[in-house]
Amino acid sequence: MLIAKVVLPIRLHQIFDYIVPDVLVKTIGIGQRVQVPFGRRQAIGIVVELCHNSQFASDKLKSIHLLLDEQPLYSAKLWQFLKRAADYYHYPLGEVLFHALPILLRQGRPATLAETWVWQLTQKGTIFDYRNLTRSHKQQALLKLMQSGGKIDNSDFSPTIFKALQAKKLIEKVAVLPVRHHWHMDIVAQQPAFQLNAQQLNAIASIEQHLTQFAVYLLEGVTGSGKTEVYLQSIQSVICKGQQVLVLVPEIGLTPQTIKRFKQRFNVPMVVLHSAMSEKARLAAWLQCRCGDIAIVIGTRSALFTPFRDLGMIIVDEEHDTSFKQQEGWRYHARDLAILRAKIENIPIVLGSATPSLETLNNAESKRYHHLLLTERAGEAELAKQTILDIKGLVLAAGLSQPLIAKINQHLANDNQVMLFLNRRGFAPLLICHDCGWIAECPRCDKPFTYHQNQNKLICHYCDTPRAIPDQCPKCGSTHLVPIGFGTEQLEKQLNILFPGIPVSRIDRDSISKKGCLDHYLQAIHQGGRHILVGTQILAKGHHFPDVTLVGIVDVDGALFSSDFRATERFAQIYTQVSGRAGRENKTGEVILQTYHPEHPLLNILLHEGYPAFAKQTLVERKNTFLPPFSYQVLIHAADRNNQYAPQLLQKVAMWLNDHYPDPDLWLLGPNQANQAKKAGYFRWQLLLQHSQRSKLQILLNELVLMIEQLPEAKNTRWSIDVDPIEG
Ligand code: ADP
Ligand code: ZN
Ligand code: ZN
């Protein structure tokens, strides 16, 4: 009797045995989907193993109901990759295998390209004189157009016109399969008008040395140093061999400008995977990549799971960006997994950034990665002049000091643009009762609500819950409620008052939440002329603003005094990225940073010596304090609604570890309340594990995860394992 071991998309490390009915024995295989009875319902699962014995008696086993695929959905290499990825993050294989599929495949749709329906002339229609259709001009026009072989724009003709011609047997609907693209036969690359500089040529030459084997490159170059040009040249070498390329970009990095540049360069089929895509389009892209019809895939972290017929290179742009790490469910890091995938596919991978993560820099330093540097700005643009502005004792208007306001005036007077960076959206981070000090707090998170004046609401920035603004203080009845502090909304209002007649664009999550809004703002800015941009860190991501000559960092002190050891790294990255926006394209720029702590060593090293010096020093500190990347961490999260089971579960985990893995190199910290102790009604706890050897942690986790799944508390808590956490 043949037994299929099947995984289901559930959060358990369990594999289920099913009997393979005789009719399926010849066609069933690993990596194919099956429909199976599961509890009282039918579920879709994936076959992970076929064998002849089960630990259960055969009369206890159920049979597979349906086989959904005749071929495996995953190539051998993709399969190996996903299994290793599930192992590394100790996440159930079923969830991982399903995660890698488009939703329609998870739901059981066939894995074949859907045919599309098109209208075509019947024999009668080809010879029929369209002038005889005297009753309808539209019908005449459509038939004439089709007879002349012209392109039909569906928006010109309503479906009833088509139906009318169909009723007259002049046209008919036929199914066509999508055409296969043989794109590699005639690639045309539109070469740039400029000469590549020596560093770019050197970077390209190094990458081309290892096009047929695994190699990791760190391409480190300041904003505007020509990294994208290096990607494009390397991509060209790969697609000219007929191989495909995957380009991963951060969540908000999908700028129309970058995509346009890729599309202008090559005449090959390209697909951009983004969150607004329809499920049908996503499935089509998945299938087309798998059969090799798409040459270049650009997408955010989940694009990593795209199947390819022949992948030749992976590029991770802005590799330091934290949006590559998924923060819930399966907490994988797309950059790290991209490296694993490149290794299994035996191909090169290029990690690009102006501000590489300390992990990546450390790997480059220890020669595990090839380090390619672009130190000069391409073309003639010069680096901006940077100044620290001490605001102690100064009068501030929505955070702006008089000297900064004067600078803004000066730059605007020269017809230039100004960008102000403030990483806090909304009007004010607090609404407080002037008479008794009551603070409006989200009851689900115990954190202050942010006051959003434009929407006339309070919004919790931790759980997104909106609230009406109270008329009165619930504690003392006073109607004197005042906003304290300032966010981007208030800054925008203040700028409108200070600089009447100057257009101000605010770019943050609130203002660009509607589709197309960001493009609209970017267009206005790119028209040039005097303009002020206000924004959060979205501004730091890959947008080019050639007319911006002044960047003002309104408030940095929050980042400098955080309890998270990674906060300074994040700040240094954002600062460098934002200040890199100033003065591109032959306009020398200026950066002004307002702070109460002008003597702060981090600010000084960043401003006077730059990000590489900052990174070097921070790596020394991390080494001395034994923090990542010089040790490895795993965070076990647990959350519940009554604040009991979660700490109990973690307490048991800590005790179990002390009993089973008495290792002086294993450090346990906690159980502690998470930094954000309560979120959306859940009390959050965590236990940190740290070890000098990654492999030791991996071994103990194998056992630990199975142990936790058996704990009674596990049923009443939301728990998860976070390997290589980046927060907390
Ligand atoms: P990055 O990706 O590092 O920000 P880009 O590749 O986007 O840099 O280059 C910045 C700008 O400089 C682009 O407009 C690009 O076309 C241009 N550029 C790139 N390389 C050169 C070069 N060697 N000479 C002149 N201009 C260049
Ligand atoms: Zn009050
Ligand atoms: Zn909340």
**Token pair in block for residue 53:** 């014995």
The Cβ of residue 587 has, within 10 Å, a number of other Cβ atoms equal to 17
Provide CB contacts within 8 A for 54, sequence distance 6+. 3, 17, 61
Average pLDDT over residues 643-665: 93
Q: Name 644's Cβ contacts closer than 8 Å, sequence gap at least 6.
A: none
User: Which pLDDT belongs to residue 518?
Assistant: 74
- Overall size of the chain counted in residues: 728
pLDDT of residue 632: 96
Q: How far is the CA of 473 from the centre of ligand 2 (A)?
A: 5
DSSP state of 685: E
Q: Is 200 in the pocket of ligand 1 (CB under 6 A)?
A: yes
The protein residue whose alpha carbon is closest to atom 6 in ligand 1 is 226
Per-residue model confidence as pLDDT tens digits over 118-142: 888 888 998 899 888 888 888 998 9
Would you say the CB of residue 399 lies under 6 angstroms from ligand 1? Answer: no
User: 710: Cβ–Cβ under 8 A, 6 or more apart, which residues?
Assistant: none
Which pLDDT does position 542 carry in this prediction? Answer: 60
The protein residue whose alpha carbon is closest to atom 12 in ligand 1 is 378
Buried b (16+ CB within 10 A) or exposed e, 224-233: bbbbbbbbbb
- Give the pLDDT confidence of 613-637 residue by residue, as tens digits: 999 999 999 999 899 999 999 999 9
Asked if 296 and 245 count as a contact pair (C-beta separation under 8 A), the reply is yes
pLDDT tens per residue across span 276-305: 789 999 999 999 999 999 999 999 999 999
The whole-number average pLDDT for the span 697-702 is: 94
Query: Strand 3-7 vs strand 16-19: parallel, antiparallel, or unpaired?
Result: antiparallel
428 Cα: distance to centroid of ligand 3 (angstroms)? 16
Percent of the chain predicted with pLDDT > 90 = 64
Instruction: Assess whether the C-beta atom of 355 lies below 6 angstroms from ligand 1.
Output: no
- Mean local confidence (pLDDT), 507-520: 77
| CA 503 / ligand 1 centre spacing (Å) | 28
pLDDT band for 320, please (50, 70, 90 cuts). very high
- Using H for helix, E for strand and C for coil, what is the string for 84-97? HHHHHHCCCHHHHH
* Ligand 1 pocket test, candidate residues 199, 222, 229, 373, most atoms within 8 A of CB: 229
Lowest-confidence region among 73-82, 238-247, 438-447: 438-447
Name, in order, each residue with C-beta under 8 angstroms of 46's C-beta and a sequence gap of 6 or more: 6, 7, 31, 32, 33, 34, 73, 94, 97, 98
Mean pLDDT in the chain? 90
pLDDT at residue 318 is higher than 80: yes
User: What residue owns the CA closest to ligand 1's atom 14?
Assistant: 224
Which residues are in the CB-under-5-Å shell of ion ligand 2? Answer: 433, 435-436, 438, 473, 475-476, 478
In this prediction, residue 532 carries a pLDDT of: 94
**Residue 474 CA: which ligand is closest?**
2
* pLDDT at residue number 255: 66
* 155 has a pLDDT exceeding 90: no
How far, CA to CA in Å, does 79 sit from each of 31, 36, 82, 93, 97? 8, 21, 5, 11, 8
Q: Is the CB of 722 under 6 A from ligand 1?
A: no
Question: What is the pTM assigned to this prediction?
Answer: 0.85
Q: For residue 217, what are the β-bridge partners?
A: 350, 370
Task: Give the pairing of strands 215-221 and 348-353.
Answer: parallel
Mean pLDDT of 34-55: 94
Long-range contacts of 520-529 (CB under 8 A, 24+ apart): 522/255, 522/256, 522/257, 525/417, 528/417, 529/415, 529/417
Q: Which residue has the higher pLDDT, 588 or 350?
A: 350
Q: What is the 445 CA–ligand 2 centroid distance (Å)?
A: 21
**Residue 530: predicted pLDDT:** 93
What's the pLDDT band for 653 if we cut at 50, 70, 90? very high
Strands 116-121, 171-176: parallel, antiparallel or unpaired by DSSP?
Answer: antiparallel
- Is residue 228 within 6 Å of ligand 1 at its C-beta? yes
Closest C-alpha to ligand 1, atom 20? 226
Q: Which atom of ligand 1 is nearest to the CA of 221?
A: 3
Confidence (pLDDT) at 257:
74
Q: Which of 244, 277, 249, 251 is nearest to 261 (CA)?
A: 249
What's residue 114's pLDDT?
Answer: 67
DSSP string, 554-609: ---HHHHT-SSTTHHHHHHHHHHHHHTTSS-TT---EEEEEES-TT-HHHHHHHHH
pLDDT for position 253: 54
CA–CA distance, 245 with 264 (Å, rounded to integer): 16
Residue 361 has pLDDT above 90, yes or no: yes
Tally Cβ neighbours within 10 Å of residue 686. Answer: 24
Report the pLDDT value the prediction gives residue 585, as an integer from 0 to 100: 60
The DSSP-derived string for 311-357 is EEEEEEETTT-GGGB--SSS--BHHHHHHHHHHHHT-EEEEEESS--
432 Cα: distance to centroid of ligand 2 (angstroms): 8
Residues 6+ apart with CB under 8 A from 678: 444, 445, 446, 447, 684
Task: Quickly state the pLDDT bin for 115 (edges 50, 70, 90).
Answer: low
pLDDT at 224 over 80: no
Query: Which segment of 176-180, 316-320, 416-420, 535-539 scores lowest on mean pLDDT?
Result: 176-180
Choose the weakest-confidence range: 574-583, 620-629, 713-722.
Answer: 574-583
Ligand lying closest to the C-alpha of residue 470: 2
pLDDT at residue 391, as a whole number: 93
Predicted pLDDT of residue 277 = 86
* Residue 697: strand, helix, or coil: helix
Ligand 3 centroid to residue 440 C-alpha, Å: 11
Residue ID of nearest Cα to ligand 1 atom 21: 378
370 vs 11: CA distance, rounded Å = 38
Q: What are the residues whose beta carbons fall under 8 Å from the beta carbon of 23, sequence distance 6 or more? A: none
Q: Specify the range with the lowest mean pLDDT, choosing from 90-104, 451-465, 533-547, 637-651.
A: 533-547
Mean pLDDT to the nearest integer, 6-32? 93
Question: How far is ligand 2, taken at its centre, from the CA of residue 431, in Å?
Answer: 11
- Distance from C-alpha of 581 to C-alpha of 384, rounded to nearest angstrom: 9
Distance CA 552, CA 202 (A): 35
Residue 527 reports pLDDT greater than 90: no
The one-letter amino acid code at 649 reads: L
pLDDT tens digit sequence for 408-457:
999 999 999 999 999 889 999 999 999 999 999 998 888 899 999 999 99
8 Å CB contact between 644 and 638: no
- Residue 223 CA, closest ligand 1 atom number: 4
For ligand 1, whether the C-beta of 379 sits within 6 Å is yes
For the ranges 46-55, 265-274, 656-665, 673-682, the lowest mean pLDDT is seen at 673-682
Residue 254 pLDDT > 60: no
SS percent in the chain: helix, strand, coil, step 5: 35, 25, 40
Q: What is the pLDDT of residue 380?
A: 56
Does 37 sit in the ligand 1 pocket, CB within 6 Å? no
* Contact present, 469 and 457 (Cβ < 8 Å): yes
pLDDT at 379: 56
**Considering only 240-254, 329-343, 384-398, which range has the smallest mean pLDDT?**
240-254
Q: Compute the average pLDDT of residues 257-265.
A: 85
Range with lowest mean pLDDT among 198-202, 394-398, 561-565, 567-571: 561-565
Minimum mean pLDDT range among 39-53, 154-168, 378-392? 378-392
Q: State the Cα–Cα distance between residues 65 and 323, nearest whole angstrom.
A: 40
